[in-house]
Structure 1
Amino acid sequence: METPIERAGTQPMRRSARTTLVSLSTETPGELEITQPTLPLMSIEPAVAPARKTVGGRFFDWLIVITSAWLTGGLFLDGWAHAHIPRLETFFTPWHAVLYSGFLAVALCHIVALVVYHRRGRAWRQAMPVGYGLSLLGIIIFALGGIGDLTWHVLFGIEKGVSALLSPTHLILALGGTLIIQGPFRAAWARPNRTSRPSLASLLPMILSQTMLLSVFAFFSQFIHPFVYAWSAVPASAVLPFYGQALGVASIELQTALMMGCILLMLRRWRLPFGALTLVLTISLSLMTVLSNHYWLIPVALLAGLSADLLLWWLEPSTQRVLELRIFAFAVPVILFMLYFLAAALLWGIAWTIHLTLGSVVMSGIVGLLLSYAFVHPHISIDR
């Protein structure tokens, strides 16, 4: 008579674990027989190694930063031309040439990297370095936007004023461009931290990438930017007495939200070294002065950046030091716009009342403070 265990040992199986069992033999009563049946407990499939992701190096990061700066510089040159040359009635301009040649340069870098890594054995989906996959999508969007922009100009003419910033094809170009220039930022975000206090040199591609993002945001909202339009110097109109005041306060609040959003996102991920915020604020705000010829505001941007770095060094805000993060988020815009109004008072005078001037400064701090809660949530205790 065959026992159930011995019958199980005769079952055909693919690949399974072998277990030593003890059973009673029916042929020799009283004796124990040691058998090694193979039990159908589980099937063991050969392990498949996950596809390795392509990790780009610092050379590629810097290559994209340089070509992205070319692209961003072309954007601001084109903006300067629209602001200073009233009879700009053609798509084919030297400034468009700088803009689109910058796009071709950055697109070529991505395509070459894609092909090179694919030839080294990567699948097409894994061939692009980590963080740069969305940049390829941005290249496609930008190319389609460029073709659409040319067609739009032929059909409807050259945009002027705010229309030039909110034109549908220009917004498509902006979307594609921001996806491209954020490649080094996304790549740095995906890499593990090698040290708790990274150096300025190691984070510089990421910092410049984020600076260009903030600059593009500011460019497309320049119609409501205090470094472009100094509404605080404009006397109240008899017809619309609150028009300039409302625009001035709204411009401060909007640009504070954009600026602190970019800064807090970096603080959410890294402990920023001294000098990082000086670069971010000085470059992004100085580019806006080019559009309006308000070059006297460049020292304001520099001093605000240095002050932000000093606050960063003193407070050490982070996700673990939440109170310090809240203070930092409030203080940075307050210092920036206090310096802004001080410079405005010395150079051309302020038409606003002291109540409105200081109130708008405090409002900028409140915007920064509230925004910090979106990046670092308050602790929630759950009663059981």
Structure 2
Amino acid sequence: MVDTAAQTLRAGARNDLVTQLLGIWLLLAVFLDGWAHLHVPGLETFFTPWHAALYSGLVAMAAWTASVIWRQRQPGRPLTRSVPAGYTGTVIGLVLFAVAGVLDLAWHEILGIEVSLDALVSPTHLLLGFSLFLILGTGIRSARAAGGAEVFTRTPAALLSLALMTGLGAFFLIYCSAFVRTPPAVPYLQTPIGSPGHTQAELPPALGLASYLVTTALIIAPFLYTFSGARRPPFGIATILVAVVAWLPLAMSGLRPVAVAGAAGATIISAAADLLLARRPGPWLRRRLPAVTAVLAALIWTGQLVGIALASSIQWPVSMWLGAVVLSAGLAAALALLSSLNTRSVPVPAAPR
């Protein structure tokens, strides 16, 4: 463990950026391995090209992190006290990843290869995911340790770190992604309560509604995090978050035309929302954060619905698809309200004149 004195060491913005660029390698390898589990039949071995891409990325990240620490060493000081601020979690993540990899190998050799939903919730895979989360968060931890509120607008590494962690969350929650499922495009058979087959008919749309709430939280939570201590969110943040939450899972699961159209609609509308956000002063946004996030969520899902309607058709009744938009907007507003409870006593910096 690194002591307080070591926390004064800084890796530097350039080193942080290289770390996060290597993080792109790791995240893309994760999605590539997920693609193989979905599309390559008879995957019966741990030793695959996709695992090679993932673990070679781990080796590259470990070598780079070791070089960053080595270059920070000082004569007479233990190497453990040369870890730059923000990189302790990276070291822990690398060690956990290696341990989880050995456990994953043993798991597959004993119990076989998972091929569906069980692959996402396998304990060894979840441990790998937690390890990756620590590694991909390096840019944020390092930037916050350097001080200053404008973390995400000052350092590209921090913004990239946030995007990568959100993408990792989208990977592990792909089974309840509203972009992958496109629930309104699935026919809905209205079955009265108590009639035969009611439960079976209601289950798919119920899962679809739940997927909207989960995906909304996955986008809005990191969006709100960029407001923590900052005057305003970084430009383009809504588009970045929608892109990683929508397009990476779609590339992994399959680019179905209706899903692509929905994701394109959401991406376009989020880009328009970013332009609107950029025109409003930061203090104004913070004072109206619940309303801002509610409108953002409503716009994103409206864009998706328009894309689905253009590519195919909306199969849900108006009460269902409009209810999904309203529920998502309400959840976004609630998350914003909760996030602001701990910051009401913190003075908001005045906008520069």
TM class by shorter chain equals: 0.7 to 0.9
SS in structure 2 of the partner of residue 228 of structure 1: helix
Tell me the distance in 1 between the aligned counterparts of 2:151 and 2:94.
Answer: 31
After TM superposition, give the deviation of residue 51 of structure 1 in Å: 5.9
Cα separation, partners in 2 of 1:135 and 1:214, compared to 1, 3 Å: same
Tell me the distance in 1 between the aligned counterparts of 2:265 and 2:155.
Answer: 25
Q: How does 1:1-12 map to 2 (within 5 A)?
A: none
After TM superposition, give the deviation of residue 232 of structure 1 in Å: 1.8
Residue of structure 2 aligned with 1:366, choices 320, 330, 341 = 330
After TM superposition, give the deviation of residue 88 of structure 1 in Å: 1.5
After TM superposition, give the deviation of residue 106 of structure 1 in Å: 0.9
> More deviation in 229-238 or 71-80?
229-238
Tell me the distance in 1 between the aligned counterparts of 2:202 and 2:76.
Answer: 64
Tell me the distance in 2 between the aligned counterparts of 1:211 and 1:229.
Answer: 22
Tell me the distance in 2 between the aligned counterparts of 1:308 and 1:277.
Answer: 7
Counterpart of 1:174?
129
> More deviation in 279-288 or 254-263?
279-288
TM-score by length of structure 1 reads 0.79
Answering whether residue 308 of structure 2 is matched by residue 344 of structure 1, we say yes
Deviations 1:22-43 (A, max 9, x none): xxxxxxxxxxxxxxxxxxxxxx
Counterpart of 1:235?
187
Counterpart of 1:282?
243
Answering whether residue 134 of structure 2 is matched by residue 212 of structure 1, we say no
Tell me the distance in 1 between the aligned counterparts of 2:65 and 2:219.
Answer: 28
Counterpart of 1:157?
112
Residue of structure 2 aligned with 1:222, choices 155, 158, 174 = 174
After TM superposition, give the deviation of residue 117 of structure 1 in Å: 1.6
Contact kept, 8 Å, 2:294 with 2:333, in 1: the verdict is: yes
Answering whether residue 81 of structure 2 is matched by residue 126 of structure 1, we say yes
Counterpart of 1:203?
155
SS in structure 2 of the partner of residue 129 of structure 1: coil
Deviations 1:233-265 (A, max 9, x none): 222367311111111110010111121111111
Instruction: Report percent identity of matched pairs.
Output: 31
What is the identity, as a one-letter code, of the residue corresponding to 1:260?
A: I
Q: How does 1:267-306 map to 2 (within 5 A)?
A: 267-270=227-230, 271-291=232-252, 292-294=254-256, 295-306=260-271
After TM superposition, give the deviation of residue 108 of structure 1 in Å: 1.2
Residue of structure 1 aligned with 2:209, choices 230, 249, 254 = 249
Tell me the distance in 2 between the aligned counterparts of 1:213 and 1:72.
Answer: 9
Q: Hey, which of these two has a bigger chunk of helix by percent?
A: 2
Residue of structure 2 aligned with 1:115, choices 47, 59, 70 = 70
SS in structure 2 of the partner of residue 281 of structure 1: helix
Q: How many residues align?
A: 328
Counterpart of 1:36?
none
SS in structure 1 of the partner of residue 227 of structure 2: helix
Cα separation, partners in 2 of 1:120 and 1:65, compared to 1, 3 Å: farther
Answering whether residue 277 of structure 2 is matched by residue 307 of structure 1, we say no
After TM superposition, give the deviation of residue 356 of structure 1 in Å: 0.6
Counterpart of 1:75?
30
Tell me the distance in 2 between the aligned counterparts of 1:151 and 1:310.
Answer: 50
Contact kept, 8 Å, 1:232 with 1:244, in 2: the verdict is: no
TM-score by length of structure 2 reads 0.86
SS in structure 1 of the partner of residue 180 of structure 2: coil
Tell me the distance in 2 between the aligned counterparts of 1:58 and 1:256.
Answer: 31
RMSD: 2.3
Higher relative contact order (CA 8 A, sep 6+): 2
